[in-house]
A and B are shown apart, each in its own frame.
Chain A
């Protein structure tokens, strides 16, 4: 979100805005004491959607609002191509191909910074880095005081030991390897070191005198740092995604060329590729699209005239006019709207300008026949009857620790066919559960103070690896019940199984119904475990839980449990 102090009323139409103040923010984060003396001015916290790079700075936001309120027209961004030999050049060498192949550049000529504008300029770069640049992995931005350096500039890659310069705000020179160590504990920069650290060559930009502009994506050189007094800015973007690099450059120059002597004009620079080809940047491309008014009206569910629609779009910075015999709208998409990828994006902007809450809500006249999935229908019916039998339903997490489904149940993890998570934040999310039992036992452990007996059940999915599915794993719908009391109550759990089978209309015989046979189970007390057979297969087990299982789940009373797969009964 962005925080601004604004003195005029902001319309709450575009995106979610909530009110706060500096005092509030500090108060929330550090407590009321620290907040004393902080500003009470109302601040607006604005949620900007992830694809609107043009609204990431105050300049862009205000510009968008003023166009929306029809106070100004959207400025026309102009690319000024200097005379032959006078423009800046950025030469890319082939060494960059392995580490950071793309680069684009432009110049903001005769710019006037104030403290606020300067802060905003730095802030926008940081926001773009976090957003479209994907934390500098895709694109990194460098802005330099052009008057401290002289082109042509060279973007190359060298061995870390061969790169030496004074990084931004440091007092001495370091080699690139030393810089890695220097920033290893820096709260901000350490997250980017890995992007180039293990490469044989590090990217680096020099001017014609060997002054280092930057070592992207880590840090700029101190020599070229810009200040409030900087008049000419050389902007370079390097990265691994050329499309995004172009978008980022366009955004920076369109937003801040407002403060150039010739507002909204950007001086182009020439990029020279290893094969000798050249390209002028920034692109600042304007694109034209044609959309039929009926399409817009139909998709939204409104009926506006073509000229009214054209006006709505123009207010959204998409300059439009009616063409043809009034049956078409031509829309010009400016370089600030990289988010417009398809006609439906245009439709969305029209709807936003119209106001979602002004659209009439209707119900589609789609006639369909309804169907519940048989498995879910069965689950619903069973749930009701199990509750009627005096058991309480629980809903537990599908993810758990490895111990929960293996060690605590007396098994080895390799025997479980469990699906394993690669990046769990905590040990609680190492695997997907292969049995519902641990969840219920943990629920009991969390409710030990409740009066006995505790009778819980859950009908929910477990997950196991299965090489026969297209993703390599599948769910099974299990039913599990536990009885926790001073005595294990095996007959109660057994009775519950009988009741469930009765509901499923499965008779208690071996030929065409269900049967139980004594067996051993690592989670069960010896001699008090049985396997349940039905529909020609083993569907689960029931029995008295082993005291080791009980103590490992931090329980103290005897417990009996039942778990079956209910999918054969669908």
Chain B
């Protein structure tokens, strides 16, 4: 729109600004803003302008630059010039991208869609092996589950829970420390799961082991003992614990090593293992409820009272106690409970539906090798309620 003054504006001399244009002087290549009042003259007219510089030639740098670009020598322009020309929209820089394309390994002429999820059909046909899957984004959070809430459980038993977090136990803690002789049938291959690996317990309590050995083989603490040759290798044999009484033994051992005796009540409910064939009433693994009370002056009456309290909580109130035999408790007993839900369904005759539970008893003093003095009457009710899924439902 403006007039390139070097060519047409008569009001200028070569090399100088347009004198009659009120605008500030333009640099080389500038134009007079419209409307330049100066009349346009024919190109070839050489009108002498008073005061204008007469030059033989006009040096047009812009033209020069643009010509160079046209000739393909755009790189010869300086950054500044190029920027200026671009700004003046005289020069347009266009980026030409070119690609090398080759067939890749996954090339196909069919378009394959990426799977998002595994489906049942893919599993059934095995087609997942051939399909590509979209990768997951692990940095996103998952979908929040819809949750209900329950008030927190506030059962506070008067018993302290024993640690029972070892299914693998040594024969020492499972049998020997409980005065069960090494030739006892329960230590047989068909009643106990012995371990192939790890086969032996690396560590047994040294001093205590010696005492246990003595009581088994020679007697002690008022006991005649079993009078047989007690072998350390047999005590080291690892097994899957057959009762949680081994945990009680460990706990009582720790209690005995305390400076001062304090009465305790312990309980545990955990898994035990017996090497039996499975049938409708027998499992190889089941849960055992175990309770131990250690205090001075405890009696069989206390044991029975505690067991009755325990069963009452399960809704069982009719109990009978009968003598039984346990190598590690003396006196020992079994509890028989009458449970209305079990027993003879209509039509069959039979004995009343008493079911056997809870063997228990007072810990025999041969366990006193643990160092507990003569007064505390340790007794224990290993409540061997053999709970397994079938009966749990009935016991509710």
Which A positions have Cβ atoms within 8 angstroms of B? 14-16, 18-19, 49-52, 131, 134, 138, 241, 243-244, 298-302, 341-345, 347-348, 351-352, 356-357, 359-364, 366-373, 375-376, 380-381, 384-385, 387-390, 395, 397-399, 419-425, 429, 432, 461, 463, 465, 467, 469-475, 477, 486-488, 490-499, 508, 516-518, 525, 527-528, 530, 544, 547, 550-551, 556-558
Say how far A501's CB is from chain B's closest CB, in angstroms.
Answer: 10
Instruction: Tell me which of B133, B165, B321 contacts A461 (CB under 8 A).
Output: B165
Closest to A567 in B: B165
Bound CA span A429–B284, Å: 9
Given contacts A241-B183, A388-B149, contact A359 B161 (CB under 8 A): no
Residues in B neighbouring A361, C-beta threshold 8 A: 301, 304-305, 308
**Which of B120, B152, B201, B275 has the largest number of chain A CB atoms within 10 A?**
B120
Which B positions have Cβ atoms within 8 angstroms of A? 117-120, 122-124, 126, 128, 133, 135-136, 138, 141-150, 152-153, 156-163, 165-170, 183, 185, 189-190, 193-204, 219, 222-228, 238, 240, 263-265, 271, 273, 275-277, 284-285, 293, 295, 297-302, 304-306, 308-309, 320-325, 330-334, 336, 351, 362, 364-366, 377, 389
Find out whether the CB atom of A463 lies under 8 angstroms from the CB atom of B223.
Answer: no
Find out whether the CB atom of B120 lies under 8 angstroms from the CB atom of A558.
Answer: yes
Extra A-B contacts (9), CB below 8 Å, given A363-B306, A373-B162, A388-B149: A299-B362, A344-B331, A348-B323, A356-B322, A364-B293, A384-B150, A385-B149, A398-B273, A525-B118
Find out whether the CB atom of B323 lies under 8 angstroms from the CB atom of A352.
Answer: yes
Residues in B neighbouring A348, C-beta threshold 8 A: 323, 330-332
Say how far B306's CB is from chain A's closest CB, in angstroms.
Answer: 6
Residues in B neighbouring A14, C-beta threshold 8 A: 323
Instruction: Tell me which of A363, A421, A423, A544 contacts B302 (CB under 8 A).
Output: A363
- Chosen A-B contacts, 28 in total, with CB atoms closer than 8 Å, are A134-B185, A241-B183, A243-B228, A301-B301, A348-B330, A361-B308, A362-B299, A364-B295, A368-B159, A369-B160, A370-B160, A372-B161, A398-B273, A399-B193, A423-B190, A424-B275, A429-B284, A467-B202, A471-B201, A471-B203, A472-B168, A473-B195, A487-B117, A493-B142, A494-B141, A517-B138, A518-B138, A528-B136
| Count, A-B residue pairs, CB within 8 A | 310
Closest to B156 in A: A370
Instruction: Tell me which of A341, A398, A421, A527 contacts B195 (CB under 8 A).
Output: A421
Say how far A426's CB is from chain B's closest CB, in angstroms.
Answer: 8
Given contacts A342-B365, A368-B265, contact A385 B325 (CB under 8 A): no
Instruction: Tell me which of A301, A371, A461, A550 contacts B161 (CB under 8 A).
Output: A371
Find out whether the CB atom of A551 lies under 8 angstroms from the CB atom of B123.
Answer: yes
Find out whether the CB atom of B198 lies under 8 angstroms from the CB atom of A299.
Answer: no
Bound CA span A368–B365, Å: 23
Find out whether the CB atom of A298 lies under 8 angstroms from the CB atom of B299.
Answer: yes
Residues in A neighbouring B323, C-beta threshold 8 A: 14-15, 49, 348, 351-352, 356
Find out whether the CB atom of A557 lies under 8 angstroms from the CB atom of B123.
Answer: yes
Find out whether the CB atom of B309 lies under 8 angstroms from the CB atom of A363.
Answer: yes
Bound CA span A343–B225, Å: 12
Find out whether the CB atom of A362 lies under 8 angstroms from the CB atom of B167.
Answer: no
Find out whether the CB atom of B299 lies under 8 angstroms from the CB atom of A301.
Answer: yes
Find out whether the CB atom of A419 lies under 8 angstroms from the CB atom of B168.
Answer: yes
Say how far A502's CB is from chain B's closest CB, in angstroms.
Answer: 9
Find out whether the CB atom of B298 lies under 8 angstroms from the CB atom of A364.
Answer: yes
Residues in B neighbouring A528, C-beta threshold 8 A: 118, 133, 136
Residues in A neighbouring B273, C-beta threshold 8 A: 398-399
